[in-house]
């Protein structure tokens, strides 16, 4: 996906959800343990697919997501794909307790879908999106970088089947490959919808219902996902963005600006302004990449802090899976840098992760050509590992 250089826009948008006495935990880790991430979940509550079974203390209420963007077309069915993400997370939940996962059920839901229906009534599935060539095309030179033309699907299947990167791993570590591999699918779908919007915009198709604005709405729907019972959107990439904000003290600097950039793209699509659309879409891509850049920085330090091989195995799998989302874009800026990160996250979990390896990952991801290729906004760059 190619757009003009990102405009780095500062937004101060604080949307705090005060929900009947709830304060949803913002995870200090997407998992930090190995099961489906169910942070502070109460009995009967919907599973959060990025919850931490052993969360760090938190005092930050989860902001309501989605209010920064208003669709102009019907995309509820597209947003409902996040409910498949939720249900897969529930199937993976036993891994958090060291119990076996029903991988057949996970595979069936990934392949067959459930909650998101197309206009003809057939399910929209995560597997079908993962195998869509227009989605994989959003990853620069992806087939060569990953060594597989169907890399998005392969990464998830490796977790489900215990093959490839998932061979010999525990259910907890394999679950990381599935969940974070699904995040990469959603990421690719957001960019693909923006690409489709651009194509329609070039043809002058600016109608809300089925023109370029509708495709921008779809991009937002795959990013934000459906609401949960408590009114927030905890199942898709918007939630991941807010977790990365909390991890690095960047509250309000990823999710809200990204949704505002999507709103700018929608406005440009409605008015037929291709230059403004390109600028907004590039901002969206930069913020998306920043989420996975920060996750790739986070988990090498988590793995280095693990005394037990089992925990280290899970963190290495988690960091590896997060990095795959931006590996192709990082390699476009610096192939050696991307290889350095890949090497650290692919190491044997029986071996400790050293402070030198933390520095290798930080140096590689903060190489100027890599940062420029990713379009990470200046204010979200973390050059030195936190103490």
Question: Which helix (H) or strand (E) element contains residue 8?
Answer: none
Tell me, yes or no, whether 36 lies in a domain: no
Tell me, yes or no, whether 33 lies in a domain: no
pLDDT tens column, 255-280: 999 999 999 999 999 999 999 999 99
Residue range(s) defining the domain that contains residue 94: 76-298
Q: How far apart are CA 349 and CA 317, in angstroms?
A: 9
Nearest to 369 by CA among 336, 342, 321, 340: 336
Nearest to 198 by CA among 286, 288, 279, 77: 279
pLDDT tens column, 85-115: 999 999 999 999 999 999 999 999 999 999 9
- Checking if the pLDDT of 15 tops 70, the result is no
Tell me, yes or no, whether 63 lies in a domain: no
Question: Which helix (H) or strand (E) element contains residue 286?
Answer: helix 274-304
- The pLDDT confidence band at residue 68, using thresholds 50, 70 and 90, is confident
Tell me, yes or no, whether 359 lies in a domain: no
pLDDT tens column, 278-304: 999 999 999 999 999 999 999 999 999
Distance (Å) of CA 370 to CA 146, 177, 283, 331, 339: 17, 24, 16, 7, 12
Average pLDDT over residues 29-48: 36
Q: How far apart are CA 221 and CA 183, in angstroms?
A: 14
- The pLDDT confidence band at residue 386, using thresholds 50, 70 and 90, is confident
Give the list of residues 6+ apart from residue 133 with CB closer than 8 angstroms, or none: none
Q: Percent of the chain at pLDDT above 70?
A: 83
Nearest to 25 by CA among 1, 6, 53: 53
Average pLDDT over residues 145-158: 98
pTM for this prediction: 0.85
Tell me, yes or no, whether 353 lies in a domain: no
- Checking if the pLDDT of 355 tops 70, the result is yes
- Checking if the pLDDT of 42 tops 90, the result is no
Tell me, yes or no, whether 43 lies in a domain: no
Domain count, the chain: 1
Average pLDDT over residues 225-253: 96
Tell me, yes or no, whether 234 lies in a domain: yes
Tell me, yes or no, whether 252 lies in a domain: yes
């Amino acid at each position: 996906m190619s757009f003009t250089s990102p405009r780095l826009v500062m937004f101060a948008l604080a949307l705090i959800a005060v929900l009947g006495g709830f304060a949803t935990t913002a995870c200090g880790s997407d998992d930090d343990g190995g099961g489906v991430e169910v942070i502070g979940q109460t009995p009967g509550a919907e599973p959060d697919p990025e919850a931490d079974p052993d969360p760090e203390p938190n005092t930050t209420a989860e902001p309501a997501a989605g209010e920064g963007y208003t669709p102009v077309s019907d995309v509820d069915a597209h947003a409902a794909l996040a409910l498949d993400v939720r249900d897969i997370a529930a199937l993976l939940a036993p891994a958090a307790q060291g119990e076996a996962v029903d991988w057949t059920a996970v595979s069936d839901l990934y392949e067959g879908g459930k909650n998101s229906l197309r206009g003809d009534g057939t399910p929209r599935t995560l597997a079908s999106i993962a195998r869509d060539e227009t989605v994989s095309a959003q990853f620069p030179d992806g087939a060569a970088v990953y060594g597989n033309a169907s890399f998005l699907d392969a990464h998830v299947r490796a977790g489900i089947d215990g093959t490839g990167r998932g061979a010999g791993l525990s259910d907890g570590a394999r679950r990381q490959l599935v969940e974070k591999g699904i995040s990469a699918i959603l990421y690719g779908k957001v960019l693909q919808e923006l690409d489709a919007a651009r194509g329609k915009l070039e043809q002058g198709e600016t109608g809300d219902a089925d023109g370029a604005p509708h495709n921008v709405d779809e991009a937002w729907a795959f990013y934000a996902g459906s609401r949960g019972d408590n009114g927030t959107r905890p199942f898709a990439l918007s939630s991941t963005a807010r977790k990365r904000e909390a991890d690095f003290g960047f509250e309000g600097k990823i999710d809200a600006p990204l949704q505002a950039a999507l709103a700018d793209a929608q406005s440009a699509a409605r008015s037929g302004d291709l230059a403004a659309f390109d600028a907004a879409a590039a901002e969206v891509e930069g913020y998306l990449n920043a989420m996975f850049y920060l996750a790739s920085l986070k988990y090498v330090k988590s793995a280095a802090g693990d005394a037990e091989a089992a925990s280290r195995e899970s963190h290495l799998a988690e960091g590896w899976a997060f990095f795959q989302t931006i590996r192709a874009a990082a390699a476009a800026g610096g192939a050696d840098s991307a290889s350095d990160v890949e090497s650290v996250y692919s190491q044997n979990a029986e071996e400790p992760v050293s402070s030198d390896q933390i520095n290798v990952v930080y140096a590689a991801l903060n190489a100027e050509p890599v940062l420029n290729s990713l379009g990470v906004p200046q204010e979200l760059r973390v050059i030195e590992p936190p103490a």
